[in-house]
């Protein structure tokens, strides 16, 4: 019996899916990525935004068609959409054979057994339950892996439903994180991407204080791990102690993902975000001063209820003034169940679209300028493969997080360059927001 997995959404979802794959394999099932040739398909869904839910529904519909054609026996829907939209999902997808929410996924093999017996299981545990410690099968890469250090969120941003889907913030014990990191290093991983909804809060619930600054040096001490990357840091939780650790630890890549969402004081208050625009500006200046070569990534929301043209202009001016190298720009989405969905002065969709386009254009100019400034520099690149079409190797530098940032393409002799190894690459050109270079030999210096 073969079970295929499809994972949608964020890194936390991916880790859950990898844990479900391991559990299913250990239970004696054959497992695969994708549904082709499988008897059972498991779709791990995202429910954060309408766009993500539509993607999940489209994926489920494809599986329904396969099932109707006799190519698939059972469809199971797991994850955030199954948790938060369970009733609507059951109505929209009556052909689904079972549902599992964001807790209880370690029991997926039993759910598969039930579905194969003709039952219609629905497993929705306590979203605030302790995080189960289970092994996983890393599916992202042979060279890097997500390292989830916490689950849930205690921030109550007005636009967000994550706390209602994923529960309160729960840290994993430090010893469990370090043990997993050791295992990942032994499996050949070179880069660990530390992830949680808010990694700056790590340890507060378990140890009574924030302990990310103590955890990071221990991760850096693990033999075999060469890069440690950080996603996501809440701005007002970034302490001087944490900045010092990031600055002095050579394995921590000088790349920080700090979602700020906006810079206007009034909009930030309406969003229920802590801190002010001036405090964000002060933080970004401090980070630039104390961490040489730092690349910043952030997330911005355009068209939040009540956002005026002046407040939007302030956001544009901030982006240009601080030259944030990486930014994800999103139109405000009124998610049912969120506080902001009921706010007055909802912004017209055309206005939101225009503001997103303007911010995106500004960001592309900043990216182009950043790429141009890299020409002539020598960067360390983790090689991830070879492109037959361009006849170039490709990989990522410290400024490039997988899946969201660009790649570095470089020349090298086949057989002389191996994926999974680090190389010095001299940047010679840019192309469409990405970098192009050649292997840099020490004798060239």
Query: Which residues make up each annotated binding site for [4Fe-4S] cluster?
Result: 10, 46, 80, 153, 157, 160
- Residue 113 region, left (φ>0) first, then alpha (ψ -120 to 50), else beta? alpha
CA distances, 312 to each of 280, 307, 318, 348, 360 (Å): 16, 7, 10, 14, 13
The answer to whether 319 and 300 are in contact (CB under 8 A) is yes
Question: What sign has the CA pseudo-torsion 31, 37, 39, 45?
Answer: positive
CA distances, 48 to each of 128, 149, 161, 266 (Å): 18, 20, 7, 24
Q: Could you tell me where the DSSP H helices lie in 196-343? A: 204-207, 212-220, 240-248, 265-270, 277-290, 309-322
Omega of the bond leading into 232 within 30 degrees of 0 (cis) = yes
Q: Which residue has the tokens 């559990």?
A: 23
The answer to whether 103 and 129 are in contact (CB under 8 A) is yes
Question: What sign has the CA pseudo-torsion 281, 282, 288, 291?
Answer: negative
Binding-site positions: 10, 46, 80, 153, 157, 160
């Amino acid at each position: 019996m073969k079970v295929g997995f499809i994972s949608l959404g964020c890194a936390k979802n991916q880790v859950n899916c990898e844990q479900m794959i391991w559990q299913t394999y250990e239970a004696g099932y054959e497992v695969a990525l994708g549904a082709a040739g499988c008897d059972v398909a498991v779709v791990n869904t995202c429910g954060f935004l309408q766009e993500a839910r539509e993607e999940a529904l489209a994926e489920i519909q494809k599986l329904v068609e396969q099932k109707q054609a006799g190519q698939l026996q059972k469809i199971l829907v797991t994850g955030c959409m199954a948790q938060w939209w369970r009733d609507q999902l059951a109505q929209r997808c009556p052909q689904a054979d079972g549902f599992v929410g964001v807790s209880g996924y370690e029991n997926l093999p039993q759910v598969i057994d039930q579905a194969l017996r003709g039952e219609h299981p629905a497993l929705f545990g306590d979203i605030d339950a302790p995080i189960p410690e289970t092994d996983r099968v890393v599916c992202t890469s042979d060279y890097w892996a997500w390292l989830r250090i916490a689950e849930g969120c205690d921030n109550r941003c007005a636009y967000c439903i994550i706390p209602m889907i994923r529960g309160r913030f729960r840290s994993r014990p430090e010893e469990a994180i370090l043990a997993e990191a050791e295992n990942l290093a032994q499996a050949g991983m070179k880069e660990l991407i530390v992830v949680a909804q808010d990694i700056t809060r790590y340890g507060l619930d378990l140890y009574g204080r924030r302990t990310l600054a103590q955890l990071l040096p221990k991760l850096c001490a693990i033999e075999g791990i060469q890069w440690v990357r950080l996603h996501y840091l809440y701005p007002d939780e970034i302490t001087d102690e944490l900045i010092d650790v990031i600055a002095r630890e050579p394995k921590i890549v000088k790349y920080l993902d700090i979602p700020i969402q906006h810079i206007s004081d009034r909009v930030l208050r309406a969003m229920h975000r802590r801190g002010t625009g001036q405090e964000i500006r002060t933080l970004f200046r401090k980070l630039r001063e104390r961490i040489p070569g730092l690349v910043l990534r952030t997330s911005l929301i355009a068209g939040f209820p009540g956002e005026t043209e002046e407040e939007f202009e302030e956001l544009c001016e901030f982006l240009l003034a601080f030259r944030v190298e990486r930014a994800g720009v999103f139109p405000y989405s009124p998610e049912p169940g969120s506080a902001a969905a009921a706010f007055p002065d909802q912004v017209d969709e055309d206005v939101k679209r225009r503001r997103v386009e303007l911010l995106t254009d500004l960001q592309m100019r900043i990216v182009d300028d950043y790429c141009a400034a890299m020409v002539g520099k020598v960067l360390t690149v983790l090689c991830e493969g070879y492109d037959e079409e361009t006849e170039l190797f490709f990989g990522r530098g410290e400024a490039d997080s997988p899946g969201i940032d660009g790649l570095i393409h470089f020349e090298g002799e086949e057989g002389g360059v191996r994926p999974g190894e680090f190389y010095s690459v001299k940047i010679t050109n840019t192309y469409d927001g990405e970098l192009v270079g050649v292997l840099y030999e020490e004798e060239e210096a």
